[in-house]
Amino acid sequence: MKCRVCRGPAIIDVRRHNANFCVEHFIEQCERQVTKAIDAFSMIAPGERVLVAVSGGKDSLALWDLLHRLGHHAEGLYLGLGIGDYSDDSGVYARNFATARGLVLHEVDLRRDYGYDVPRAAAATRRVPCSACGLSKRHLFDEVARQGNFDVVATGHNLDDEAAVLFGNVLRWQTEYLARQMPVLPAGNGFPRKVKPLVRLSEREMAAYCIVTGIDYQVEECPMAAGNSHLGYKEALNIIEDRSPGTKHDFYFGFLDRAAEAFRQGLEQDATMLGRCRDCGAPTPSDRCAFCRLVERAGGRLPGTDGQGPDAGTDTPVVLGRRERP
């Protein structure tokens, strides 16, 4: 295989583009695709402060690296989820990445700062762990962005992630979720802007990007995600993609071009009805937000309260975003 650009030896084939790339031109291709996504969807304006949600995995570290390379002011936020060795190792990857590049990494630890963790929350709510995990992440990304005066929160959702979520939402006609599935969610009602600059790049390309740029990342899968429906949707889509390269791209971007607008109209009406959580002040349609209810059910506590959570007295709550590296 030869690189499409320079005709030198290729290290990767990207079948949906019918193209092969050497290391240099593959990195350029990734930069170009991120720039294209940022420009096409007005994700980040020059000079804006970006908070990157960092898990220690390939997508979030590649995103942080790409935004940094492209000249954006990007700081990271790592959430300690309390999922055993997996979380401990993930934190090390995130910290090592930040330290090596002299980037600022903020940290929030669910167990230390809120007195609960994802396994405990999943047990208390009797729902799948990904539900409590996702709720915690969304709330804390918003919270840290507000407190740190960030203009935008960037997440490492890639083309495979978005296509799989779309597939699941279509299978069950989850119209409210379909209305929210955009590469950009604008700021408003107390929420920061949310952007997904990797939507034009596949999961395989992100792993390859990390390998060729020397980014050391958490390869092991989250033990609590095994067998979830999201991974099943990805598997199904990859069977189709293998036979018909480009299907995932056409499925997702065809939705954005030709169907998303019809679902969005209902979302805009709902957004005007939000109040503020009586405990934490976050935007919510009820008097207490879902996160505060989750913390209570899991036996945790909010920072700044005296704390009746299980770990109270052994851990010291910290103000969000205070811990920074380096």
Cis peptide bond upstream of 326, omega within 30:
yes
Largest separation between any pair of C-alpha atoms in the chain:
65
Nearest-10 Cα torsion for 294, 295, 300, 304: -170
The nearer residue to other proteins, 72 or 166, going by C-beta atoms, is 166
Residue 15 or 297: which CB sits closer to other proteins?
15
Phi first, then psi, for residue 9 (nearest 5°) are -60, 130
Residue indicated by tokens 């963790």: 117
Structure token pair of residue 151: 């203009």
- State which residue, 57 or 183, has the beta carbon closest to other proteins: 57
CB closer to other proteins out of 43 and 208: 208
CA distance 51 to 174: 29
* Beta strands 49-54 and 73-80, pairing class: parallel
Residue placing its CB nearer to other proteins in the complex, 50 or 79: 79
Q: What's the chain's length in residues? A: 326
The distance of closest approach from Cβ of residue 130 to other proteins in the complex, given in angstroms and rounded to an integer, is 4
- What tokens appear for 306 in the block? 């005296």
C-beta of 10 vs 260, nearer to other proteins: 10
Q: Tell me the closest approach of the beta carbon of residue 198 to other proteins, in angstroms.
A: 12
For binding to other proteins (CB under 8 A), which residues are involved? 1, 10-13, 20, 57-59, 128-131, 133-135, 137-138, 160-161, 202-204, 206-208, 211-212, 219-222, 224-225, 228-231, 234-235, 238-239, 241-242
Helix and strand element counts for the chain (H, E)? 12, 11
Nearer to other proteins, 40 or 236 (CB): 236
Smallest gap from Cβ 26 to other proteins, in A, equals 9
User: What minimum distance in Å lies between the beta carbon of 237 and other proteins?
Assistant: 9
Q: Which of 252, 258, 257 is nearest to 200 (CA)?
A: 252
Which C-beta is closer to other proteins: that of 225 or that of 312?
225
User: Rounded to the nearest whole angstrom, what is the least distance from the CB of residue 72 to other proteins in the complex?
Assistant: 24
Shortest distance, position 168 Cβ to other proteins, whole Å = 8
Tokens of 219: 């390869």
Write down the least CB distance from residue 196 to other proteins, Å.
13
Token pair of 96 as six digits: 């090592």
* Nearest C-alpha neighbor of 205 from the set 257, 256, 152, 248: 248
Least distance from C-beta 138 to other proteins, angstroms?
7
Q: Which residues pair with 194 in a beta bridge?
A: 153, 185
Pick 130 or 267: Cβ nearer other proteins:
130
CB of 216 to other proteins, least distance (A): 11
Q: Are strands 12-14 and 19-21 parallel, antiparallel or unpaired?
A: antiparallel
Distance CA 81, CA 135 (A): 12
Q: Exposed e or buried b for every residue in 230-258, given b needs 16+ CB within 10 A?
A: eeebbeebbeebeeeeebbbebbbebbee
